[in-house]
């Protein structure tokens, strides 16, 4: 379109420009500036009123231009790009130092080439194509935030709400194309994308039929997030037709660029239009509140005579004039002279009535441009300054939610801190924070007057059932299989998928389609390729998430951990000479040995006074203690126990010995058989270095991994199809080991105890469901799987189908030995019995000793002190009980005899004698 307009400029015969000589003024003259707008548009009307007001304010303030006056001439392009170009040419041939405009980017692209050649700065607050800020157009300056920032704000908001795909509707012109390219780039930075571009005829040429046809296409698509970037007259028609097509109902997300806020701020919309745009999100350039802004707003009704309401672009129009005025003031203060000269590149271009050679170059244009870019002032729109890329510093937007005929503000966006509910000017005093946790917006009323956030997509083709590919396995059918009786597909993977679908807030119509030849397990790589080629809409099954597959499809969150492991047969190891010591830990051996001695000592104490077998010389008694204690280990003690307490202690101890010896025997048997079974293959490292054959499951990714990642020769690999083939190949030595995924191996080992896992898992992955790239369903299913994991239902499904446990083969580690903590209860009971028996025994013995000591006590004996009493007690304890009783009986008789003699002597002395009936005189 640019080339076409240039050709028109060159060929137009109706335009005549003629200026002769060089005009040089040496005093401070009046300054001419021009403006090019379509004054029938909203922004054109606002711009004309605001710019005239600004020129009056500049001229009424002598501190700005001194004796010079600013003259503004306006040119109405009347919606025509051609006329806009003509207006630009007129200004560049009439001593105009700068041009405000043009209004649209199409004209700006062409006029910028002329501005570059003739050094005439151009300032626009409505031609906001991001490409116009490039180095290609040094003399074109955008005095309001260009669309790059608005598209960044839209991308941030889409990411904030969690959407991944959007549809854009825009008009096919320079400004819209550049803006949509910028939107696509910003979405890609946030892992989002434009799903479909609905392109309409440029400017206002799109018909209702054209718009309707595009909207019908959009309604049949998956994405329900729609961005509208168009002129107001086209945008309102889009929403009108969308409302009629029932596309403004719950489930849709509509985002309009700043054109909609311009309409709402400056005009009164009808009741019908307000219904059409209900729930739409839109943007508006943010202008902070200030005294100057409030004063200007108060003046606006007088300036406009109530013809139109003010919007932010009117403020930018006012500030643009002041930007130019301040730059011109600085130019004049620097001694600059407003002068023009002929451009040598244009000499000789006069053709007929067309004299392009009359166009003149502004000699001070470069200096004036530099002054404009140095602007640092406070205007109605806030602080105004330009960065190194010529764009405004700290661009910001208000985010509006249309409700009825009005709107509410739900937040702000700034290039400084992203989305917030706090005005940007407040955030500028703080450190920038673009973290996801700091991004905030108020609640939104969505189309259909619902507060529930739409999920932003639907199943395409009006709810067609999803075709889900399922591997038709011939082994490990607990994972996934078809019931031949009912023709239903079930299994662990199917139950997980159905449980996750039940958690989704919307229905997912689907049908399972088996993939395989029923003779061997299918290739999972082929199954994934069917998803990428749209044969299947998804793949559900025991599909390992590996790198090559993630490049072509999107996987859900893994619902079970997996990884490759090595299964190998076991062989007998040579037994250690000290293998008999392995059943017990060292502490268990020490405590057990100590209790044999303790019980021997306790029984000796309890039996020593009454049992001749526990008496004799000290050496013999020591041997008896040791022999009796340790012989109870084999229940072969030959000494009889005669005391009640001794028998009680011995019975309890023999019960403890029975438990300990039984446990020891069982553990030693395990050590000498199963525990000493060890694999001949130590892990994947020994497999790599050997030349042995390796088995793998048909269809598994293990084959490619072993070949491509571990560089194992393909000739060493043998495909195996079932657990029975595994076992046979391992037993016969056809393969040295089998490499397979952990869930399958666990099921295999539950029925094959002569094999075991060796080494560690050498890959870490999991099983997931596969969906086409960028499918929103993959994300929702991932969330559902995490919910299943958190509420425990995923584990229940696992236990239902994969409950088999591998054979427990004890290892030789200390953790598998019999430890004291397993028997401390028995030792405690036995110890308490020993202590109680000793207490009872010593109490009884002490009672006997006291009786004995009383019978034989004499004054001479009592004078010996406590040490002699202890010696007598030990001697008493060492005596045999029968002898002690005889001594006690003999002493008792002697005592009675002495008492009788004393009585007779007393009677003889007192004359009293005893008769059979008592005493009598």
743 vs 562: CA distance, rounded Å: 7
Percent of the chain with pLDDT over 90: 46
pLDDT attached to residue 690? 87
Statement: residue 636 has pLDDT above 70: no
121 vs 143: CA distance, rounded Å: 12
Q: In 3-state terms, what secondary structure has residue 558?
A: coil
pLDDT attached to residue 496? 96
Helices (runs of H) and strands (runs of E) counted in the chain: 32, 36
810 vs 676: CA distance, rounded Å: 9
8 A C-beta contact, residue 215 and residue 239: no
Q: What is the mean pLDDT of residues 486-506?
A: 91
Statement: residue 479 has pLDDT above 50: yes
Q: What is the mean pLDDT of residues 37-65?
A: 93
Q: Which residues pair with 398 in a beta bridge?
A: 284, 412
Among 442, 394, 452, residue whose Cα is nearest residue 422: 442
pLDDT digits 0-9 by tens, 649-694: 777 777 777 777 777 777 777 666 654 444 567 888 888 888 889 9
pLDDT attached to residue 327? 95
8 A C-beta contact, residue 181 and residue 212: no
Using pLDDT thresholds of 50, 70 and 90, give the confidence band for residue 84: confident
Lowest mean pLDDT among 270-274, 379-383, 861-865, 901-905: 861-865
Using pLDDT thresholds of 50, 70 and 90, give the confidence band for residue 811: very low
Q: What are the phi and psi torsion angles at 796 (to 5°)?
A: -65, -40
pLDDT digits 0-9 by tens, 449-470: 999 999 888 876 555 788 999 9
pLDDT digits 0-9 by tens, 114-170: 899 899 999 999 999 998 888 889 999 999 999 999 999 999 999 999 898 999 999
pLDDT attached to residue 159? 93
Using pLDDT thresholds of 50, 70 and 90, give the confidence band for residue 81: confident
Statement: residue 8 has pLDDT above 60: no
Q: Distance of CA 277 to CAs 261, 287, 872, Å? A: 11, 24, 114
8 A C-beta contact, residue 433 and residue 308: no
User: What are the CB-based long-range contacts (under 8 Å, 24+) for 110-116?
Assistant: 110/2, 110/5, 110/6, 110/9, 110/85, 111/84, 111/85, 112/136, 112/137, 112/139, 112/140, 114/88, 114/89, 114/359, 115/139, 115/140
Tokens of 127: 């031609």
pLDDT digits 0-9 by tens, 279-327: 999 999 999 999 999 999 999 999 999 899 999 999 999 999 999 999 9
545 vs 705: CA distance, rounded Å: 13
pLDDT digits 0-9 by tens, 212-254: 999 999 998 889 999 999 989 999 999 999 999 999 999 999 9
Using pLDDT thresholds of 50, 70 and 90, give the confidence band for residue 816: low
Using pLDDT thresholds of 50, 70 and 90, give the confidence band for residue 909: low
Using pLDDT thresholds of 50, 70 and 90, give the confidence band for residue 647: confident
Percent of the chain with pLDDT over 70: 79
Location of structure tokens 């090595």: 566
Dihedral, 177, 180, 182, 183 alpha carbons, nearest 10 = 180
pLDDT digits 0-9 by tens, 552-573: 999 999 999 999 999 988 765 5
8 A C-beta contact, residue 833 and residue 601: no
760 vs 514: CA distance, rounded Å: 34
pLDDT attached to residue 142? 94
Tokens of 613: 């077998």
8 A C-beta contact, residue 544 and residue 718: no
3-state helix, strand, coil in the chain (%, to 5): 50, 20, 35
Among 846, 757, 747, residue whose Cα is nearest residue 802: 747
Tokens of 661: 């010896």
8 A C-beta contact, residue 35 and residue 47: yes
Helix pair 776-791, 793-801: axis angle to 10 deg: 80
pLDDT attached to residue 755? 85
Q: Which residues pair with 913 in a beta bridge?
A: 920
pLDDT digits 0-9 by tens, 541-553: 999 999 899 999 9
pLDDT attached to residue 914? 46
178 vs 309: CA distance, rounded Å: 29
pLDDT attached to residue 679? 55
pLDDT digits 0-9 by tens, 257-283: 999 999 999 998 888 999 999 999 999
DSSP string, 312-334: HHHHHHHHHHHHHHHHHHHHHHT
Q: How far apart are the first and last CA of the chain?
A: 164
8 A C-beta contact, residue 705 and residue 763: yes
182 vs 187: CA distance, rounded Å: 9
Q: What is the mean pLDDT of residues 850-874?
A: 58
Which residue would you say has higher pLDDT here, 484 or 609? 484
DSSP string, 509-537: -EEEEEES-SSSPPPHHHHHHHHHTTS-S
Query: Could you give the angle at the alpha carbon of 241 between the alpha carbons of 238 and 247, nearest 5°?
Result: 95
Using pLDDT thresholds of 50, 70 and 90, give the confidence band for residue 886: low
Report CA 412 to chain centroid distance, whole Å. 26
Using pLDDT thresholds of 50, 70 and 90, give the confidence band for residue 19: very low
Q: In 3-state terms, what secondary structure has residue 61?
A: coil
Burial class (CB within 10 angstroms; exposed 0-12, middle 13-18, buried 19+) of 206:
buried
Is the bond preceding 106 in cis, omega lying within 30 degrees of 0?
A: no
8 A C-beta contact, residue 816 and residue 585: no
Using pLDDT thresholds of 50, 70 and 90, give the confidence band for residue 718: very high
333 vs 328: CA distance, rounded Å: 8
Q: In 3-state terms, what secondary structure has residue 591?
A: helix
Dihedral, 821, 823, 825, 828 alpha carbons, nearest 10 = -100
Among 256, 207, 208, 199, residue whose Cα is nearest residue 232: 256
Statement: residue 777 has pLDDT above 70: yes
CB proximity list for 634: less than 8 A, separation 6 or greater: none
Location of structure tokens 């030789």: 812
pLDDT digits 0-9 by tens, 579-630: 667 677 778 778 777 777 777 677 777 776 666 566 667 776 677 666 666 6
pLDDT attached to residue 433? 85
Dihedral, 373, 374, 380, 382 alpha carbons, nearest 10 = 100
Kind of pairing between the strands at 418-420 and 717-720: unpaired
Tokens of 214: 């595009």
Q: What are the phi and psi torsion angles at 16 (to 5°)?
A: -135, 125
Tokens of 917: 């009936």
pLDDT attached to residue 4? 46
Statement: residue 902 has pLDDT above 70: no
Statement: residue 880 has pLDDT above 70: no
pLDDT attached to residue 171? 93
Q: What is the mean pLDDT of residues 412-428?
A: 92
Ramachandran category for residue 412: left, alpha or beta (phi over 0 → left; psi -120 to 50 → alpha): beta
pLDDT attached to residue 240? 95
8 A C-beta contact, residue 192 and residue 158: yes
Statement: residue 867 has pLDDT above 90: no
pLDDT attached to residue 405? 78
Helix/strand/coil (H/E/C) assignment for every residue in 250-316:
CCCEEEECHHHHHHHHHCCCCHHHHHHCCCCEEEEECCCCCHHHHHHHHHHHHHHCCCCCCCHHHHH
Dihedral, 166, 171, 175, 176 alpha carbons, nearest 10 = 0
Report CA 88 to chain centroid distance, whole Å. 55
pLDDT attached to residue 358? 64
Among 804, 796, 676, residue whose Cα is nearest residue 749: 804
Statement: residue 383 has pLDDT above 70: yes
Q: Distance of CA 416 to CAs 71, 144, 421, 474, 849, Å? A: 37, 16, 14, 59, 99
- What average pLDDT does the structure give for the chain? 82
Statement: residue 903 has pLDDT above 50: yes
């Amino acid at each position: 379109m640019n080339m076409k307009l240039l050709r028109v400029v060159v060929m137009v015969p109706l335009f005549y420009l003629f200026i002769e000589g060089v005009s040089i003024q040496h005093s401070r003259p009046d300054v001419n500036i021009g403006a090019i707008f379509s004054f029938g548009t909203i922004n054109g009307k606002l711009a004309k009123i605001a710019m005239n007001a600004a020129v009056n304010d500049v001229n009424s303030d002598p501190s700005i231009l001194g004796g010079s006056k600013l003259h503004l001439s306006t040119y109405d392009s009347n919606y025509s790009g051609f006329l806009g170009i003509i207006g630009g040419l007129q200004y560049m041939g009439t001593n105009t130092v700068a041009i405000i405009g043009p209004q649209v980017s199409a004209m700006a692209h062409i006029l910028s080439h002329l501005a570059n050649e003739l050094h005439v700065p151009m300032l626009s607050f409505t031609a906001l194509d991001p490409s116009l800020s490039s180095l290609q157009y040094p003399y074109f300056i955008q005095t309001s935030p260009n669309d790059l920032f608005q598209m960044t704000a839209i991308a941030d908001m889409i990411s904030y709400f969690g959407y991944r795909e959007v549809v854009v509707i825009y008009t096919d012109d320079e400004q819209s194309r550049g803006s949509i390219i910028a939107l696509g780039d910003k979405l890609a930075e946030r892992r989002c994308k434009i799903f479909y571009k609905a392109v309409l005829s440029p400017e206002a040429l799109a018909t209702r039929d054209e718009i309707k046809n595009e909207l019908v296409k959009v309604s049949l698509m998956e994405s329900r997030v729609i961005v509208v970037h168009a002129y107001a007259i086209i945008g309102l028609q889009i929403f009108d037709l969308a409302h009629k097509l029932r596309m403004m109902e719950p489930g849709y997300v509509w985002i309009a660029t700043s054109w909609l806020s311009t309409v709402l701020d400056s005009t009164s919309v009808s009741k019908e239009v307000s219904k059409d745009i209900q729930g739409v999100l839109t943007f508006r350039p943010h202008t902070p509140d200030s005294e100057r802004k409030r004063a200007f707003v108060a003046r606006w009704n007088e300036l406009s005579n109530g013809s139109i309401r003010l919007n932010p672009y009117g403020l930018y129009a006012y500030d643009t004039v002041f930007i130019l005025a301040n730059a011109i003031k600085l130019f004049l203060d620097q001694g600059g002279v407003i002068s023009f000269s002929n451009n040598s590149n244009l000499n000789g271009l006069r053709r007929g009535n067309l004299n392009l050679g009359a166009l003149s170059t502004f000699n001070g244009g470069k200096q004036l441009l530099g002054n404009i870019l140095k602007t640092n002032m406070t205007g109605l729109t806030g602080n105004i300054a330009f960065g190194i890329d010529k764009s405004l510093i700290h661009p910001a937007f208000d985010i509006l939610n249309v409700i009825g005929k009005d709107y509410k503000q739900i937040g702000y966006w700034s290039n400084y801190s992203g989305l917030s509910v706090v005005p940007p000017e407040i955030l500028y005093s703080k450190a920038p924070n673009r973290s996801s946790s700091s991004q905030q917006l108020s609640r939104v009323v969505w189309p259909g007057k619902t507060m529930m956030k739409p999920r932003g997509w639907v199943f395409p083709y009006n709810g067609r059932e999803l075709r889900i590919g399922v591997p038709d396995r011939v082994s490990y059918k607990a994972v996934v299989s078809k019931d031949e009786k009912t023709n239903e597909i079930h299994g662990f993977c199917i139950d997980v998928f159905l449980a996750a679908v039940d958690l989704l807030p919307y229905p997912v119509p689907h049908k399972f389609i088996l993939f395989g030849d029923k003779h061997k397990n299918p290739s999972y790589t082929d199954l994934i390729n069917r998803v990428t080629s749209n044969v299947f809409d998804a793949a559900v099954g025991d599909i390992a998430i590996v790198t090559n597959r993630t490049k072509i499809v999107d996987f859900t969150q893994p619902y079970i951990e997996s990884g490759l492991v090595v299964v190998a047969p076991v062989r007998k190891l040579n037994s250690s000479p000290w293998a008999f010591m392995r059943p017990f830990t060292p502490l268990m051996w020490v405590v057990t040995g100590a209790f044999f001695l303790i019980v021997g000592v306790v029984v000796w104490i309890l039996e020593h006074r009454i049992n001749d077998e526990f008496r004799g010389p000290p050496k013999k008694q020591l041997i008896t203690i040791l022999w009796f204690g340790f012989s109870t280990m084999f229940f072969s003690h030959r000494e009889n126990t005669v005391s009640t307490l001794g028998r009680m202690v011995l019975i309890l101890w023999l019960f403890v010995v029975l438990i300990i010896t039984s446990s020891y025997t069982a553990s030693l048997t395990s050590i000498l058989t199963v525990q000493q079974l060890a694999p001949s293959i130590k892990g994947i490292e020994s497999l790599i270095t050997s030349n042995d054959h390796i088995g793998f499951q048909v269809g598994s990714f293990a084959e490619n991994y072993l070949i491509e990642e571990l560089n194992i020769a393909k000739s060493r690999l043998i495909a195996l199809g079932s657990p029975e083939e595994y076992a046979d190949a391992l037993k016969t030595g056809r393969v040295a080991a089998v490499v397979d995924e952990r869930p399958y191996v666990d099921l295999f080992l539950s029925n094959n105890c002569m094999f075991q896992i060796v080494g560690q898992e050498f890959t870490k992955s999991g099983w997931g469901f596969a969906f086409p790239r960028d499918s929103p369903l993959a994300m929702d299913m991932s969330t559902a799987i995490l919910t299943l994991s958190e509420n425990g239902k995923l584990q229940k499904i696992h236990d239902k189908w994969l409950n088999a446990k591998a054979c427990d083969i004890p290892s030789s580690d200390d953790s598998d030995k019999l430890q004291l903590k397993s028997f401390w209860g028995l030792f405690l009971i036995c110890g308490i019995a020993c202590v109680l028996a000793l207490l009872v025994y010593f109490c009884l013995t002490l009672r006997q000793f006291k009786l004995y000591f009383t019978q034989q006590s004499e004054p001479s004996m009592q004078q010996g002190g406590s040490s002699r009493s202890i010696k007598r007690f030990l001697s008493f304890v060492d005596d045999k009980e029968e002898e002690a009783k005889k001594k006690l009986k003999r002493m008792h008789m002697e005592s009675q005899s002495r008492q009788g003699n004393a009585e007779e002597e007393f009677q003889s002395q007192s004359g009293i004698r005893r008769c059979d009936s008592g005493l009598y005189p």
